[in-house]
Structure 1
């Protein structure tokens, strides 16, 4: 049994990550913005904590004593600027986890940053909706902070190779793709399996990936 801190534990991906961690017997600190609205797993092995993932000091305090961290936070509130939020949260995680002595970070992201089968990023493909591009570039800015961090934290950026199957059930398996494919889908429970395999692997799980964007379906 290990201890893991999950930022963004109140969202769909976060709730499933908490559930998968508990299924494996790990203790979880589930970090949310509003504890009263948390609807995920809540038992003796889950500690609900309020925190802002862009606050380095709070990240440090919440992460201390944990073996790994998962970040599945999305933009908070209608007034939040994605272009500021994603790089700020990445900077706080790198600095905060480093100060807390947590060496492993698994960050959830989006598929559109991936190269497609032709090697071109999916967001640069003909016909990609222009209104979605700023949000994608905001995610890219956060990923670039991780890439620039060097050896400060052992990170992996995990996304569906396409999109989420919002009504999908837990099949208990997933596949790693060499590129993105917007026709691919993965359920939230199966995506959580990939996150936990990367955060706290053992001899029964897939090999760990390091400082890369991992696509799963």
Structure 2
């Protein structure tokens, strides 16, 4: 049994990561901004904690004593600043986890940053929806922080090869892909499998993994 801290535990990917971690018998600290909104996460060895993933001190304090960290934290929509959020979160995770003595970080990312069949990022392919581009570039900026500053961490960035199957059930397996595939789908529950596999027994380091 390990102790795992999960940032962004209130979102769809985060909730499934918490559920899968509990299924495997781990102790979990589920970090959200407002614990009162997520009382349903509390179950057995799950501790709900208030925290800000963009704050170094919060990350360090919440991660202390844990074996690995998962981040599924994100912002999107009116009134948010994704670029500031994802870069600040990456900076805080790099510094805060180092202070806490946590070496392993598994980050939930975007398929748009993967290369397509011709080697071009899906984000840069003709026909990519312009309205999603700023959000994707914000994610890319956060990933670049990990690449440039995350040398002391065994980080891995994991995304669907295409998109999530929002209504999909847990099948208990996933497939690794070499590139992005806009037609590929994976359920949140199956996506959580690789998050926990990489948190428990790291096999990939400082790279972007695609799963379907």
Give the stretch that moved more between structures: 43-52 or 69-78. Answer: 69-78
Q: 1:213 maps to what in 2?
A: 208
2:83 matches 1:60: no
Alignment length (residue pairs): 212
Per-residue CA deviations over 1:127-149 (Å, capped at 9, x if unaligned) read 11111111110000000000002
How much is the aligned-residue C-alpha RMSD, in angstroms? 1.2
CA contact (8 A) 1:10 1:40 kept: no
Structural mapping, 1:53-132, within 5 Å: 53-75=53-75, 78-132=78-132
With 75-84 and 158-167 compared, the bigger mean Cα shift is at: 75-84
CA pair 152-71 structure 1, distance change in 2 beyond 3 A: same
User: 2:41 matched to 1:15?
Assistant: no
Residue matched to 1:158: 158
Residues 99 and 167 of structure 1: CA distance in aligned 2, closer, same or farther (over 3 Å): same
Corresponding residue for 2:193? 193
Which moved further from structure 2: 18-27 or 37-46?
37-46
TM-score calculated relative to the size of structure 2:
0.97
Distance 1:198 1:163 in 2: 20
Please give the alpha-carbon distance, in whole angstroms, between the structure 1 residues aligned to 2:26 and 2:76. Answer: 27
Per-residue displacement from partner, 1:57-96 (whole Å, max 9, x unpaired)?
0100000000000000011773220111101000000000
Deviation at 1:151, TM superposition (A): 2.3
Unaligned runs of 5+ in 2: none
> Are positions 1:136 and 2:136 aligned together?
yes
Under a length normalisation based on structure 1, what TM-score does the superposition of the two structures give? 0.95
The Cα shift of 1:150 comes to 4.5
More divergent stretch after superposition (68-77 vs 116-125): 68-77
C-alpha change, 1:78 and 1:131, in structure 2 (3 Å) is closer
| Higher share of residues assigned helix | 2
Distance in 1 separating the partners of 2:207 and 2:41: 30
- Tell me by how many angstroms 1:44 deviates: 2.2
Query: The residue matched to 1:48 in structure 2 has which SS?
Result: strand
Q: In structure 2, do the counterparts of structure 1 residues 176 and 39 end up closer, same or farther at CA, with 3 Å as the change threshold? A: farther
Paired residue for 1:45? 45
Given the superposition, is the C-alpha separation of residues 197 and 128 from structure 1 closer, same or farther in structure 2, using an over 3 Å criterion?
Answer: same
Which secondary structure does the structure 2 equivalent of 1:95 belong to?
Answer: helix
- Native 8 Å contact 1:60 1:100 kept in 2: yes
Cα offset for 1:36?
A: 1.0
